[in-house]
């Protein structure tokens, strides 16, 4: 079981080869990305919905350095190895690839997915990689977020409970 999960975590070069193999099989590849710092219900529902749009779901995962640049001091809370393992353990996720850039633009150019998916908090025209996917005839889709489920909400709650002395 652990070996099966670890096989889902691939570097960029290996995943590019996997993508070519999926294309030869005629499988529709969906790509999404994010930090996935504290995996929660909103993430899982989002990934399940993304996977339903195609035959294989690839998740680009921001590296620790990338998350720190994007989210600020103290983030990520979980190291990239743990975040990748948790994502790969989900049935909806077929492959995970850690990337170090601040955006997945280069990874999307390498993988050439058929569908690019982001959360409903994004406007289609602002989604990084949109031009790459659409230029090949692919689609860009947004998925509504699960209300009141976010990593920021979880962190705020932990901070508040700590201030109240509940966590020490």
Per-residue pLDDT band for 151 (boundaries 50, 70, 90) equals: confident
Q: Which tokens sit at 151?
A: 């990593």
Q: What tens digit of pLDDT does each residue of 46-99 get?
A: 999 999 999 999 999 999 999 999 999 999 999 999 999 999 999 999 999 999
pTM: 0.94
Contact 69, 100 (CB under 8 A): no
Sorted by where each starts, the structural domains of the chain and their CATH numbers stand as 2-163 (3.40.50.620)
Q: Which residue, chain included where needed, has tokens 């705020």?
A: 156
CA distance 43 to 17: 27
């Amino acid at each position: 079981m652990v070996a099966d999960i670890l096989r889902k975590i691939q570097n960029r070069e290996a995943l590019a080869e996997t993508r070519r193999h999926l294309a030869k099989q005629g499988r529709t590849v969906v790509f999404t990305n994010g930090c996935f710092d504290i995996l929660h219900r909103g993430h899982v529902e989002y990934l399940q919905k993304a996977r339903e749009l195609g035959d294989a779901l690839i998740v680009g995962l921001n590296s620790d350095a990338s998350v720190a640049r994007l989210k600020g001091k103290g983030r990520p809370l979980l190291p990239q190895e743990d975040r990748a393992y948790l994502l790969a353990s989900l049935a909806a996720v077929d492959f995970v690839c850690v990337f170090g850039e601040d955006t997945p633009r280069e990874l999307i150019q390498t993988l050439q997915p058929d569908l690019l998916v982001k959360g409903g908090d994004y406007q289609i025209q602002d989604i990084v990689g949109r031009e790459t996917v659409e230029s090949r005839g692919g689609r860009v889709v947004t998925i509504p977020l699960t209300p009141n489920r976010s990593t920021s909400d979880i962190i705020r709650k932990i901070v508040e409970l700590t201030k109240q002395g509940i966590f020490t």
